[in-house]
Amino acid sequence: MAGPTNTQFAVAIHVLTLLGGSEATPVSSDVMTESVAANPVYLRRVLGRLREAGLVGSRPGPRGGWQLQRPPSEITLGDAWRAVQDGAPIFGLHAVQPGCPVGASITETLGGIDRQLTASVEAQLDGITVASVMPDLSTFSAEELVLPGAKS
């Protein structure tokens, strides 16, 4: 039922993978738009969070764009998760009748479970590097990767 809106995490992994395939030269958000189905502004917002986390760097102007700050083998999905999630809980707590002892106890219990599960998720994601989720680049040319639509 809870239609999750975690597009940002998926987009983050997508762009990190793209940048990992083009470590030499910067990639502009406009170019990434053609691979990720999202508009440049949204991409830049996600990339901004990744930059705050020190995962990517940006440079304006001609021949500018985005680059990884570390090799893909040293960036984990947990890094991307934390950069995007930014402390938002997996579960949501609910408002209870103040003064109800059961409600207060439930809230406290759920908070603990939330912290435990969050830690577990992050630990598992920390075991996966961006390099390990990158497709085998040797089978594609650089142009294929950057311009999947084969535009003019």
Partner DNA sequence: CTATTCGTAGTCGGGGTGACTACGAATAAA
Partner DNA sequence: TTTATTCGTAGTCACCCCGACTACGAATAG
- Backbone phi, psi, residue 68, to 5°: -70, 145
The nearest distance, CB 30 to a copy of itself, in angstroms, is 14
Binder of residue 18, out of DNA, a copy of itself, none (CB less than 5 to 8 A by kind): a copy of itself
Would you say 97 and 91 are in contact if contact means Cβ atoms under 8 Å apart?
no
When asked if residue 124 is in the footprint of a copy of itself (CB under 8 A), the reply is yes
Side-chain-facing half-sphere of 113: CA atoms under 13 Å:
10
Binder of residue 14, out of DNA, a copy of itself, none (CB less than 5 to 8 A by kind): a copy of itself
Would you say 43 and 66 are in contact if contact means Cβ atoms under 8 Å apart?
no
When asked if residue 131 is in the footprint of a copy of itself (CB under 8 A), the reply is no
Q: Give SS3 for 66.
A: strand
Out of 77, 78, 79, 80, the only residue in the binding site for a copy of itself (CB under 8 A) is: 77
Between vectors from CA 79 to CA 75 and to CA 85, what angle results, nearest 5°?
Answer: 150
The DSSP output letter for 100 is -
When asked if residue 140 is in the footprint of a copy of itself (CB under 8 A), the reply is yes
Interface residues toward a copy of itself, by CB under 8 A: 1-11, 13-14, 17-18, 21, 34-38, 77, 84-86, 88-97, 99-103, 105-106, 109-110, 113, 116-117, 120-121, 124-125, 128, 133-135, 140, 144-145, 148-149
